[in-house]
Amino acid sequence: MKCPYCQHHDSSVIDTTKDSHGGIRRRRECKSCHQRFSTYERPVLTTPLLIKRDGTREEFDREKLLAGLRKACTKRPIPAAQVEQLVNDIESELQKKGRSEINSRIVGDLAVKGLKEIDHIAYIRYAIVYLRMDDLQTIRNEINHLLTEEEN
């Protein structure tokens, strides 16, 4: 493993642990500069191509989904790890389907469902864009629906 500090190609593994996402975290020490750093290994499973609304196909982009969710969660009391976990759950769900192509709507639906459970404000922010809520009445109806659900 190449050292991120001095670029030396030799390091030793000090500690190995499994993380909650099924990956492996290795704590390493460079044999040249003696700096310590961590590496993560996780299995690379294939995700299906997404069929967009206009019929085009696009690779599932984990970082694109994460960026969209982070925008929705901006200035909300939501730990970054919780957003990461939601992305992991969505990616895992897509892989479990075992198909080579899948409608992008499924990704959006999973994101909306997950945000609704995490934070209602982040959910509304994401839903306004994803569900194309383009007028105040539609947004008000959704907020009223959330408030009704919360009371029950």
Q: Assess if residue 2 is contained within a domain.
A: no
Q: Which domain holds residue 35?
A: 11-41
Q: Assess if residue 4 is contained within a domain.
A: no
Residues 24 and 81 in one domain: no
Task: Summarize pLDDT for 39-53 with one digit per residue, the tens.
Answer: 988 776 678 999 999
Q: Assess if residue 79 is contained within a domain.
A: yes
Intra-chain end-to-end CA distance of the chain, in Å = 54
Task: Summarize pLDDT for 62-97 with one digit per residue, the tens.
Answer: 999 999 999 999 999 999 999 999 999 999 899 888
